[in-house]
Amino acid sequence: MLRDKRQAKMSFLLAIKFFLAFMLLFCLTLFAFFILDKLSIKLRSEGISVIMMFVLCLFCEALGILSANFVTLRVMKPINKISEASKKIAKGEYDIELEYAGEMEEIAIMIENFNKMAKELNSIEMIRNDFIANVSHEFKTPLTSLSGYLTLLKNPDLSEEEKEEYINKAFFSIEKLNTLTTNILSISKIENSAVLDEPTEYRLDEQIREAIVLLEPKWYDRQIDFNIDMPEIIYKGQKELLFQVWMNIISNAIKFSADNSEIMVRIEKTAHHVKVYISDNGIGMDDETLKHIFDKFYQADSSRQTQGNGLGLALCKEIVGRCNGKIYVTSTPGKGSVFVVSLKTVY
């Protein structure tokens, strides 16, 4: 009801504006008529009627007003639609799509960009809601475990072995919370960074070797060997970000590999790309898992959910994408997985 009154008021004001414009043009015409009257002798001598000139002026004015009105309505109508849709977006309603059947290219581009913006905002809102729900759940689980173990430690009748066990489990929960927080902050930082740091030139093969060495406590006692085929590669890119990629992928390969198994790391350089292959002989993945493996908080193997939080590979995909690269995986259940990171060579 309020909107109808507002539109009626706007229509009335628009009519007043056109009426005033017409009166102004009419007055100007009268003024021109008096000037023409002074020149009537000359005009008659040339065969031009003053009345004819007056009628022609009125016709031109009417045509100008009608043309202005037509153009204004064609322009203002879609702009009013965009204005109304913007108000809805300001209220959090992102599921909006405008249509435009006109021929003005500028208006068409404006509406197309508006629809893209609304679609992106809607997607971001869905991701945000899902992200908050998942983060709440992921924080709740280790916090509950930590609270339980600390409660058990208050029992004075515990043996030293039980105390040691509960303390280790409590530290494990703390470590999981720390990893979760670090990954969340890393993803948030990358997603909200409009511009990355300046690329750095460095030895890519040495960086991957460094990641393997830092992960030694996870693979040494399990007697997991590394088959490394990495020639010297000078690469220019996001050094710090890519280091997180190698740490996450290799850590995953170790986690899902059996004891006394082997992990292969190989680098292949082409004319325009550097490809890093990280292969394991672990439990592998089925087709359903492969569809969601890079989704945030996705964990397919329920028996190993205590070992991660489903953010590592999502972080890898985000980083590689921001580095203009691609990451993909092939896998067979029971036979292992092969992760491939393809990076463009930038010099």
CATH number of the domain where residue 283 is located: 3.30.565.10
Q: Please say if the pLDDT value at position 34 is more than 50.
A: yes
Please tell me the predicted confidence (pLDDT) of residue 305: 42
Which two structure tokens, joined as six digits, stand for 191?
């997603």
Mean pLDDT of all residues in 278-289: 88
Domain membership flag for residue 32 = yes
pLDDT per residue over 187-235, tens digit each? 666 665 556 678 889 999 999 999 999 999 889 989 999 999 999 999 9
Domain membership flag for residue 102 = no
- Do residues 223 and 260 make contact, with C-beta atoms less than 8 angstroms apart? yes
Q: Are residues 172 and 77 in the same domain?
A: no
Q: Are residues 221 and 330 in the same domain?
A: yes
Q: How many distinct structural domains can be found in the chain? A: 3
Q: Which domain holds residue 7?
A: 2-93
| b/e burial code for range 272-305 (CB count within 10 A of at least 16 → b) | eebebebbbbbbbbeeebbeebbebbebeeeeee
Please tell me the predicted confidence (pLDDT) of residue 97: 82
| Residues facing residue 343 across a β-bridge | 274
Q: Are residues 334 and 216 in the same domain?
A: yes
Listed residues 191, 223, 255: the one ending a domain:
191
Listed residues 39, 62, 93: the one ending a domain:
93
Q: Are residues 88 and 146 in the same domain?
A: no
Q: Are residues 185 and 216 in the same domain?
A: no
Please tell me the predicted confidence (pLDDT) of residue 277: 96
Q: Are residues 187 and 210 in the same domain?
A: no
Domain membership flag for residue 121 = no
Q: Are residues 253 and 330 in the same domain?
A: yes
Please tell me the predicted confidence (pLDDT) of residue 302: 42
pLDDT per residue over 149-173, tens digit each? 888 888 888 888 888 888 888 888 7
Please tell me the predicted confidence (pLDDT) of residue 2: 44
Q: Please say if the pLDDT value at position 44 is more than 80.
A: no
pTM confidence score: 0.53
Q: Are residues 212 and 317 in the same domain?
A: yes
Q: Please say if the pLDDT value at position 32 is more than 80.
A: no
Q: Are residues 210 and 295 in the same domain?
A: yes
Domain membership flag for residue 158 = yes
**Which of 169-178, 232-241, 312-321, 334-343 shows the lowest mean pLDDT across its residues?**
169-178
The Cβ of residue 208 has, within 10 Å, a number of other Cβ atoms equal to 24
Q: Are residues 303 and 272 in the same domain?
A: yes
Which residue, chain included where needed, has tokens 């509406």?
111
What percent of the chain is predicted at pLDDT more than 70?
Answer: 63
Q: Please say if the pLDDT value at position 10 is more than 80.
A: no
What CATH number should be reported for the domain holding residue 173? 1.10.287.130
> How many angstroms separate the CA atoms of 309 and 325, rounded?
24
Q: Are residues 177 and 226 in the same domain?
A: no
Q: Which of 30, 21, 20 is nearest to 54 (CA)?
A: 30
Q: Please say if the pLDDT value at position 237 is more than 50.
A: yes
Domain membership flag for residue 104 = no
Q: Are residues 313 and 224 in the same domain?
A: yes
